[in-house]
């Protein structure tokens, strides 16, 4: 189909195009049918049984929201406008004015013209009804709405998503269906733009009851808890993503409240007095014979690859290593001066680490010893010891990074974490974290340490490399006593107050691909692509600027990494960018410029008509209507020019020729639209003799059927904000028709 230029329209078509655009803004005429009121929130029924449904009608984001609007039961032979308008005060009045004006390109989504029998000039502008077996029309479109524009303020006015008759039968009110909506305060709007890669932690969900220990399977994200409600003890499995319980809770014999998970082997180890039982992690059922010993299990740690289980015995103040395949001890227990307060395993180097703290009287004074002990998993023997300090209630929890051979030891009373070079067996630094730290886990991939503050209600997020190491503190509503890391999802499950609180690491989007500048021909398909990464996965919307980046509008129905549409001449010079958003914030790509070149339709150049006539008549609307009254008209209006021509056929001297060769409906000098006269050089139907005249001066100066500079809305452009301006367009067109008819009669 040929690009839609003013010269492709009939003279009547130019006038109708103006009326169509203005119809969304101009005050409606009173008809007999009342405006339908919404029967239920989000839906309304029209006078002839139409149904209009809106996906969301309450507390919309004032800056802009995209709504899914569905219509059914419409007469397919009657076109309608779908728009966002003020609700009329009286029944029978047309909903007006409307925010967004007439979206003549169909990309901004501010309004839609829905028709199955549009005028010829509007074939590319309308959205068709889908016609069902009952012969009724239906549609589903994404409509972009916002609270304010110009003098229209829908936080003060009652506004609604509406359908109403298009300009071909605009006095009829039987197409009026109104679904009112309300806007929120704006506090619910998405998080503002933030630097790329901004990290934030939040509690995503809370679940479980009476939990004492927690473990997570990184393969499927399932969370296992050991719970002790009253005198009963249970193993319970939850879906880590939803917090919903998976299967039934499995009863276990009375436990000491400690547990370890072999994720690869799908085995759970549960500590008791005198034993460790082994359970199927999928069912909770006990499998095989327990590991038995004298004493009480205080801490457990498992090294699946090495088939080793470490058991800290609180009664005997020792650490024993067991072969998980044979369930027999490896070597003799490693006896410590005091019971272990923390236990962890380096699964890369197959070493166990136990901490203890204890006091002794030396030379009449109490001296505290805080020691990190290294245990060889292969032999079950003590490999090294390291003094951490001499504070009371010192070394408690321990976490290990086997890749860098770094250990972290929590010093409870000091409110610090000691950093240990495990290869050199020496303390290399101290991290102030506050809040009496105890349980800890380390995420090797992100380099973050999570520390349970025992006397507080938060889990500290610590970056050991940062100048101020505590980068976040996540409130969990109680004293956190146990932590489990999911290294795949980079989430931490914290036990506090008997509940499991899932702490998620969220990262704002980082743009990895921006759209590129693109040049196309009118009517070509445009495909702009962008990409970004973040946690959670970001969603995308596209924005368009018609004014070189000074203002931006959301492109409707653009929630895809690739934005595709058919190029219109009016979009030449538009800029497009993608905005990626998640819970942390938003990041925008750089903008891509769209260049749209005219299609080669075989026309000539300015000064020659599609038929070559000058002076006494032109072809294809190229010259004046009925020709000039003497002399040449300086070339025809756009005779072969794709942008409507240059000076439109300059005016002649006062020798009686027509003034500039005006076209039928307020033609332009420089390519005006079908309804708007532009520069002072153009005439309204032309007057004979003398200098050129103007009819209405500049009205929008639009290009095609709705361009920029305050003209009718096209993709992302500003719109005529007042009904009065739209009325001027129609009045100017009507005046042009009357003048033309008078001149034609004279010429005849």
From 255-269, 354-368, 471-485, the region with the lowest mean pLDDT: 354-368
Helix H segments across 116-251?
none
Selection from 55-69, 87-101, 170-184, 625-639 with the highest mean pLDDT: 170-184
Residues 90, 235: one domain?
no
User: What pLDDT is recorded for position 121?
Assistant: 86
Give residue 342's pLDDT. 96
b vs e for 325-339, b when ≥16 Cβ sit within 10 Å of the residue's Cβ?
A: eeeebbeebbebeeb
- pLDDT value at residue 104: 58
Question: What's the pLDDT tens digit per position in 503-550?
Answer: 999 999 999 999 999 999 999 999 999 999 999 999 898 888 888 998
User: What's residue 103's pLDDT?
Assistant: 61
Q: How does the average pLDDT of the chain come out, rounded?
A: 79
| CB-CB contact of 599 with 2 (8 Å) | yes
CATH number of the CATH domain containing 335: 2.130.10.10
197 lies in some domain: no
SS (H, E, C) 391-454: CCCCEEEEEEECCCCEEEEEECCCCEEEEEECCCCEEEEEEECCCCEEEEEEECCCCEEEEEEC
pLDDT of residue 601: 60
Same domain, 609 and 744: yes
Query: Are both 369 and 481 inside the same structural domain?
Result: yes
The lowest-confidence range among 144-158, 269-283, 500-514, 702-716 is: 702-716
d(CA 741, CA 271): 100
The last residue of one of the domains, among 566, 597, 628, is 597
Q: Domain for residue 186, yes or no? A: no
CA distance 591 to 546: 12
pTM score, whole prediction: 0.60
For 211-252, where are the E strands, in sequence order? 211-216, 223-227, 234-238, 245-251
**148 and 227 inside one domain:** no
| Cis bond before residue 166 (omega within 30° of 0) | no
205-253 per-position pLDDT tens digit? 999 999 999 999 999 999 999 999 988 999 999 999 999 999 999 999 9
Please state, in angstroms and rounded to a whole number, the distance separating the CA atoms of residues 411 and 407. 13
Higher pLDDT, 736 or 282: 282
Judgement on whether residues 655 and 670 belong to the same structural domain of the protein: yes
pLDDT at 142: 79
Looking at the structure of the chain, the number of domains it has is 4
Q: What percent of the chain has pLDDT over 90?
A: 56
Helix, strand, coil content of the chain in percent (nearest 5):
5, 40, 55
Q: In the predicted model, what is the mean pLDDT of residues 11-17?
A: 45
Same domain, 124 and 236: no
Name the band, by pLDDT with cuts 50, 70 and 90, for residue 48.
very high
Q: For 290-304, 332-346, 603-617, which range has the lowest pLDDT when averaged over its residues? A: 603-617
Question: What is the per-residue pLDDT for 556?
Answer: 62
Higher per-residue pLDDT: 79 or 124: 79
Higher-confidence residue of 148 and 495: namely 495
pLDDT class of 6 with cuts at 50, 70, 90: very low
By CB neighbour count within 10 A (0-12 exposed, 13-18 middle, 19+ buried), where does 471 fall? middle
- Domain containing residue 590: CATH number: 2.60.40.10
- State the pLDDT confidence band at 570, using cuts at 50, 70 and 90: confident
Q: Is residue 193 part of a domain?
A: no
- pLDDT exceeds 80 at position 731: no
Q: Interhelix angle for 11-22 vs 723-747, to 10°? A: 160
> Residue 177 is part of a domain; what is its CATH number?
2.60.40.230
Say if residues 601 and 616 touch (Cβ distance below 8 Å): no
Give the residue, 148 or 2, on which the prediction is more confident: 148
Given a cut of 90, whether residue 150 has pLDDT beyond it is no
Kindly state the DSSP code that residue 619 receives in the 8-state scheme: S
Distances (CA, A) of 468 to 370, 429, 430, 464, 508: 25, 13, 12, 9, 21
pLDDT at 395: 84
Q: Which of 506, 536, 567 is the last residue of a domain?
A: 506
pLDDT at 130 over 50: yes
User: Residue 258 has which token pair?
Assistant: 């400690």
In the 8-state DSSP scheme, what is residue 127? Answer: B
What pLDDT score does 695 carry?
Answer: 36
The lowest-confidence range among 63-72, 485-494, 553-562, 563-572 is 553-562
Q: Are residues 40 and 160 in the same domain?
A: yes
pLDDT score recorded for residue 109: 74
Please give the Cα distance from 664 to 683 (Å, whole number): 10
Q: Domain for residue 200, yes or no?
A: no
Average pLDDT over residues 442-464: 96
Q: Tell me whether residue 194 is in a domain.
A: no
Q: Which residue has the higher pLDDT, 60 or 498?
A: 498
Instruction: Dump pLDDT digits (tens) for 239-252.
Output: 999 999 999 999 99
Distance CA 639, CA 643 (A): 10
Cβ-based neighbours of 187, under 8 Å, separated by 6 or more: none
Confidence band (pLDDT; 50, 70, 90) for 736?
A: very low
Return the pLDDT at 138: 97
Residues 735 and 622 reside in one and the same domain: yes
> Exposed/middle/buried for 273, CB within 10 Å: 0-12, 13-18, 19+?
middle
pLDDT of residue 11 exceeding 60, the answer is no
Residue 687: pLDDT over 50: no
Percent of the chain residues past pLDDT 70, beyond the cut: 72
Q: How much is the pLDDT for 107?
A: 56
Q: Is residue 195 part of a domain?
A: no
pLDDT at 244: 96
710 contacts: CB under 8 Å, gap ≥ 6 = 700, 701, 718, 720
Looking at 538, 570, 597, the residue that finishes a domain is 597
pLDDT of residue 90: 85
Residue 391 lies in a domain: yes
Question: Which residue has better confidence, 493 or 59?
Answer: 493
296 with 438, same domain: the answer is yes
Nearest CA to 65 out of 151, 186, 227, 214 is that of 186
Q: Is the pLDDT of residue 386 over 80?
A: yes
Same domain for 29 and 155: yes
Q: What is the pLDDT of residue 554?
A: 75
Distance in angstroms (rounded) separating the CA atoms of residues 530 and 526: 13
Domain of 34 in residue numbering reads as 6-181
* CB-count burial class (<10 Å; 0-12, 13-18, 19+) for 602: exposed
Paired residues of 346 in beta bridges: 351
| Per-residue confidence (pLDDT) for residue 365, from 0 to 100 | 79
For residue range 660-669, what is the model confidence (pLDDT) as tens digits? 443 333 333 3
What pLDDT does 191 receive? 60
pLDDT class for 276, splitting at 50, 70, 90? Answer: very high
580 and 728 assigned to the same domain:
no
pLDDT for the residue 638? 40
Do 613 and 591 lie in a common domain?
no
Q: Confirm whether 188 is domain-assigned.
A: no
Q: Cβ atoms within 10 A of the Cβ of 592, count?
A: 20
**pLDDT value at residue 477:** 93
Predicted confidence band of residue 633 (pLDDT cuts 50, 70, 90): very low
């Amino acid at each position: 189909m040929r690009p839609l230029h003013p010269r492709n329209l009939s003279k009547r078509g130019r006038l109708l195009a103006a009326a169509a655009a203005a119809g969304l803004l101009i005050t409606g005429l009173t008809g007999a049918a009342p405006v339908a009121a919404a029967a239920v929130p989000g839906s309304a029924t029209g006078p002839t049984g139409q149904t209009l449904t809106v996906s969301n009608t309450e507390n919309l984001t004032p800056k802009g929201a995209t709504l899914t609007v569905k219509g059914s039961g419409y007469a397919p032979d009657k076109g309608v406008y779908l728009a966002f308008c003020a609700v009329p005060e009286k029944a029978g009045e047309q909903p007006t004015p409307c925010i967004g004006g007439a979206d003549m390109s169909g990309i901004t989504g501010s309004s839609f013209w829905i028709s199955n029998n549009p005028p010829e000039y509007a074939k590319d502008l309308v959205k068709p009804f889908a016609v069902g077996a009952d012969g009724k029309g239906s549609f589903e479109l994404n409509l972009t709405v916002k609270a304010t524009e110009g003098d229209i303020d829908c936080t003060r006015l009652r506004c609604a998503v509406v359908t109403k008759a298009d300009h071909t039968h605009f006095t009829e009110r039987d197409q009026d269906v109104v679904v009112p909506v309300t806007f929120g305060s704006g506090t619910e709007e998405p998080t503002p733009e933030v630097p790329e890669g901004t990290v934030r932690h939040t509690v995503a969900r809370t679940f479980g009851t009476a939990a004492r220990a927690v473990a997570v399977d990184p393969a499927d994200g399932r969370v296992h808890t050991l719970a002790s409600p009253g005198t009963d003890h249970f193993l319970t499995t939850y879906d880590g993503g939803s917090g919903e319980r998976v299967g039934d809770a499995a009863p276990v014999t009375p436990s000491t409240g400690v547990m370890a998970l072999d994720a690869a082997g799908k085995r759970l180890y549960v500590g008791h007095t005198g034993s460790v039982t082994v359970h199927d992690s999928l069912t909770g059922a006990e499998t095989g014979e327990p590991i038995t010993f004298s004493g009480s299990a205080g801490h457990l740690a498992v090294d699946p690859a090495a088939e080793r289980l470490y058991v800290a015995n609180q009664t005997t103040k020792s650490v024993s290593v067991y072969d998980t395949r044979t369930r027999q001890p490896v070597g003799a227990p490693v006896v410590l001066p005091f019971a272990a307060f923390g236990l962890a395993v380096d699964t890369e180097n197959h070493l166990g680490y136990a901490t203890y703290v204890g006091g002794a009287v030396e030379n009449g004074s109490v001296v505290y010893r805080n020691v990190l002990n290294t245990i060889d998993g292969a032999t079950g023997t003590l490999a090294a010891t390291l003094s951490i300090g001499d504070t009371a209630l010192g070394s408690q929890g321990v976490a290990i990074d086997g890749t860098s051979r770094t250990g972290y030891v929590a010093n409870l009373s000091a409110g610090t974490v000691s950093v240990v070079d495990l290869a050199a067996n020496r303390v290399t630094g101290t991290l102030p974290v506050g809040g009496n730290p105890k349980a800890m886990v380390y995420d090797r991939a992100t380099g973050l340490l999570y520390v349970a503050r025992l006397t507080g209600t938060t889990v500290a997020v610590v970056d050991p490399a940062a100048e101020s190491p505590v980068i976040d503190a996540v409130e969990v509503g109680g004293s956190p006593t146990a932590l489990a890391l999911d290294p795949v999802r980079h989430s931490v499950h914290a036990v506090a107050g008997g509940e499991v609180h899932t702490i998620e690491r969220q990262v704002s989007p980082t743009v990895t691909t921006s759209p590129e500048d693109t040049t196309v021909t009118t009517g070509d398909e445009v495909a702009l692509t962008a990409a970004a990464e973040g946690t959670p996965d970001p969603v995308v919307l596209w924005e368009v600027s018609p004014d070189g980046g000074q203002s931006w509008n959301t492109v409707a129905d653009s929630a895809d990494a690739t934005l595709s549409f058919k190029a219109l001449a009016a979009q030449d010079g538009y800029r497009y960018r993608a905005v990626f958003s998640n819970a942390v914030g938003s990041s925008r790509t750089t903008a891509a410029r769209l260049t749209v070149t005219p299609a080669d339709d075989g026309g000539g150049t300015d000064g020659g008509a599609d038929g070559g006539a000058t002076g006494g008549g032109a072809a294809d609307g190229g010259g004046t209507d009925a020709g000039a009254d003497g002399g040449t008209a300086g070339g025809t209006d756009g005779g072969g020019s794709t942008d409507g021509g240059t000076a439109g056929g300059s005016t002649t001297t006062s020798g009686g020729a027509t003034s500039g060769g005006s076209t039928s409906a307020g033609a332009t000098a420089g390519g005006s639209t079908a309804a708007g006269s532009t520069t002072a050089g153009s005439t309204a139907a032309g007057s004979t003799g003398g200098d050129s005249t103007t009819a209405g001066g500049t009205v929008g100066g639009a290009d095609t059927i709705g361009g920029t500079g305050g003209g009718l809305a096209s993709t992302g452009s500003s719109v005529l904000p007042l009904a009065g301006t739209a009325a001027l367009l129609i009045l100017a067109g009507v005046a042009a028709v009357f003048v033309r008819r008078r001149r034609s009669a004279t010429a005849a």
